Structure 1
């Protein structure tokens, strides 16, 4: 897994088109402070080919997750928000621009660090 730095976050989100119409395949709770999300999305760096992206959030301070059985029903037309605010990474389903907005998302994760790994579709 590669660490995702705060300075690289805007280009990372842009590369995957804000994850519009992506599919969250699974959420795995590794420990009380580590979670992994598996997302199928398009990569602009690869001619919009689909790939699977594994996102790992560490040192989680807050989260609201959907049940695994409901993940396939989530409307992803607004994509995913990934922001860095006050040295904190925040993930939320939907289009949000700050940490307080993300906490209104149907599903969100707030963590101190983030890593990612690309895989085949």
Structure 2
């Protein structure tokens, strides 16, 4: 897995089209401070081909999650937000611009580190 650095977030989010209409395939809690999310999304670097993206959040300080059985029902037409603020990374479903706003998302994770890995669809 590759670390996602704060300076790379804008290009990362842009590369995947703000994750509009992406699909959350699964979420797995590994420990109280580590979690993995698997997404299916389009990659502009590969001609908008679909791929699987594994995200690992570590150093989680706050989170609000949707039950696994309801993941397929989530509307992702507003994409996902990745925010770096106050030495923390935040990931949330929907379009948000700051850490306080993302806490209104249907699901969010606030952590100190994010890693990612690309796989075939």
TM-score range normalised by the length of the shorter chain: over 0.9
Partner of 1:32: 32
For residue 93 of structure 1, what is the aligned residue in structure 2? Answer: 93
1:10-21 alignment to 2 at 5 Å?
10-21=10-21
Looking at structure 1, the residues matched to 54 and 94 of structure 2 have their Cα atoms a distance apart, in angstroms, of 18
Residue aligning to 1:58: 58
Deviation at 1:72, TM superposition (A): 0.2
TM-score by length of 2: 0.99
Q: 1:45: Cα distance to partner? A: 0.2
Unmatched 5+ stretches in structure 2: none
1:68 corresponds to: 68
Shift of 1:44: 0.2
Would you say 1:115 and 2:115 are equivalent positions?
Answer: yes
Deviation at 1:13, TM superposition (A): 0.3
Question: For 1:13 and 1:86, how far apart are their aligned partners in 2?
Answer: 19
Q: Secondary structure at the match of 1:118?
A: strand
Aligned residues: 121
Q: TM-score, normalised by structure 1?
A: 0.99
Deviation, 1:24, is: 0.2
Question: Cα RMSD over matched residues?
Answer: 0.3
User: Shift of the alpha carbon at 1:51?
Assistant: 0.1
Aligned counterparts of 1:102 and 1:27: Cα–Cα separation in 2? 18
Distance 2:89 2:26 in 1: 19
